Structure formats: C-alpha cells, structure tokens
C-alpha cells in the first residue's frame, strides 16, 4: 500500500489556501493565449477520439475544467482538496466535481478519452511519479490523450523549490517525456514558454497519447 502522507500534506496545504488560489488564478487563462491554444487542440483531439469524458485531475477551483467543457468535451474535475472541490462546485454548478486522489483514482480502466493534469503533479515526490503516470495510463482509453502542465528546468534531475503552497519540483521536459513513455504514454507535442511577469520559471506542457 502507498504511504498516504504526501497526499495528506497536499490536501491540508490546498484546503488552507483554496479561496486565495481561486481568487488569483480563476481568470488566468484570459492572459495565457498559448495555453488556450493548447486546450483548443486538446479538445479537438479528444472529441475526435470519442472514447469517454475528460478528467481534469487536480482541477483546483475548476476554471480550466469549465473552459474545456465550453470547447465541447464532456469534462469533469477531481481534486484532493475538499475546499477546492467546494469552490469549483460553487463557481460552476453545472459541472461535476469530486474529491479524489490521483494516486488511486476511483475510475474504471480505460474510461477516459482525456486527462488534464495542469500543475497538479508538481508536488508529487519524484520517486512516486511513475505510479501516478501508471494510474493515468490505466484510466485512459486506448488512443486517449493526457495534457500535463509543469514548471520546467534544464537539469535532467528534478529540482525541488519553495512553491508558495508546498514543496514542488521542476522537471526537464525530456526527463518527464521519458517517464511518460515508460508508462506507455508517447509524446505527441510539447510547449515550453518563458515566464510571464510574476512567474519564476519556464512553464512546460507535454501532450502525450496512450498507444492504441
């Protein structure tokens, strides 16, 4: 059985800052044209696959869940933090949000056409990330897509940093792509962008696909 401690720590940390997080980030896509473009491409790919809904895993206050749903895919959110889930439900009463842990998802095998995991694996201790990717692989249908957002670094070894909420890790896109490939999730595309004002690090997105 996996040690629940890292998840309990993340749950408590995000419960404590949920309202502040929602205030800071709920409108963030408005000033992020590259992220919007990626989400539009992701929506098109999952709609073409037509193999189930999309799970926004680690959805926070649900703003990206709602954005994706408005683009067409049937999308729901899952988050570890009860406070985040409550805020997401309040802001988007027409959408489904559930509490859940990405390390053990309460979802059947091969049930999703897509997964969004935007900055939600950043706190996962590096040795535990392969198990999370295995769980993503399990719940994705064949040909399903995962869009992963993360803080990037050049070093092939993940770099811990003092994220405002909880210790987090930066990853080199190559190292992450390799871990994903080992989990059976092959790279389709990547985006690396420079930090905006107020951001500290380059931000990366990897779009990967479960082999059909």
Ligand X SMILES: C[S@@+](CC[C@H](N)C(=O)[O-])C[C@H]1O[C@@H](n2cnc3c(N)ncnc32)[C@H](O)[C@@H]1O
Residues forming contacts to ligand X in the complex (CB under 6 A) are: 7, 10, 14, 25, 58-60, 64, 79-81, 84, 101-103, 118-120, 123
Three-state secondary-structure class, residue 6: helix
Cβ atoms 17, 176 nearer than 8 A? no
CB of 189 to ligand X, least distance (A): 19
Closest approach, Cβ 176 to ligand X, in A, equals: 16
Q: Which is nearer to ligand X, 25 or 201 (CB)?
A: 25
Min dist CB 212 to ligand X, Å, is 27
Secondary structure (3-state) at 144: strand
Residues 6 or more apart whose Cβ sits within 8 Å of residue 90: none
* Identity of the residue, 51 or 120, whose beta carbon is nearer to ligand X in the bound complex: 120
Contacts of 37 (CB under 8 A, 6+ apart): none
CB of 56 to ligand X, least distance (A): 7
| Residues 114 and 45: beta-carbon distance below 8 Å | yes
Q: Which residue's CB is nearer to ligand X, number 58 or number 173?
A: 58
CB 79 within 8 A of CB 96: no
Consecutive H or E run containing 152: none
Residue placing its CB nearer to ligand X in the complex, 123 or 210: 123
- Residues 143 and 17: beta-carbon distance below 8 Å: no
Residue with nearest beta carbon to ligand X: 60
Pick the closer one to ligand X by CB: 64 or 129: 64
CA–CA separation, 150 vs 7, rounded Å?
18
Q: Pairing state of beta strands 75-79 and 97-99?
A: parallel
Q: Least separation, in Å, of the C-beta of 5 and ligand X? A: 11
In terms of CB distance, is 69 or 123 closer to ligand X? 123
CB of 1 to ligand X, least distance (A): 15
């Amino acid at each position: 059985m996996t040690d629940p401690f890292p998840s309990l720590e993340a749950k408590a940390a995000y419960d404590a800052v949920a309202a502040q997080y929602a205030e800071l980030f709920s409108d963030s896509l408005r000033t992020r044209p590259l992220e919007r473009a990626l989400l539009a491409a992701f929506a098109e790919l999952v709609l073409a696959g037509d193999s189930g809904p999309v799970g926004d895993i680690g959805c926070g206050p649900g703003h990206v869940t709602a954005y994706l749903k408005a683009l067409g895919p049937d999308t729901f959110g899952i988050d570890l933090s009860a406070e985040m889930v409550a805020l997401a439900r309040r802001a988007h009463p027409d959408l489904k949000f559930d509490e859940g842990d990405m390390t053990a998802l309460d979802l059947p095998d091969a049930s999703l056409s897509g997964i969004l995991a935007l900055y939600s694996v950043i706190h996962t201790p590096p040795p535990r990330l392969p198990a999370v990717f295995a769980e993503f692989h399990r719940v994705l249908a064949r040909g399903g897509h995962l869009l992963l957002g993360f803080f990037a670094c050049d070093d092939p070894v993940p770099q811990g940093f003092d994220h405002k909420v909880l210790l987090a890790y930066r990853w080199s896109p190559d190292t992450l792509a390799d871990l994903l490939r080992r989990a059976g999730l092959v790279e389709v595309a990547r985006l690396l962008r420079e930090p905006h004002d107020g951001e500290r690090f380059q931000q990366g997105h990897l779009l990967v696909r479960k082999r059909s």
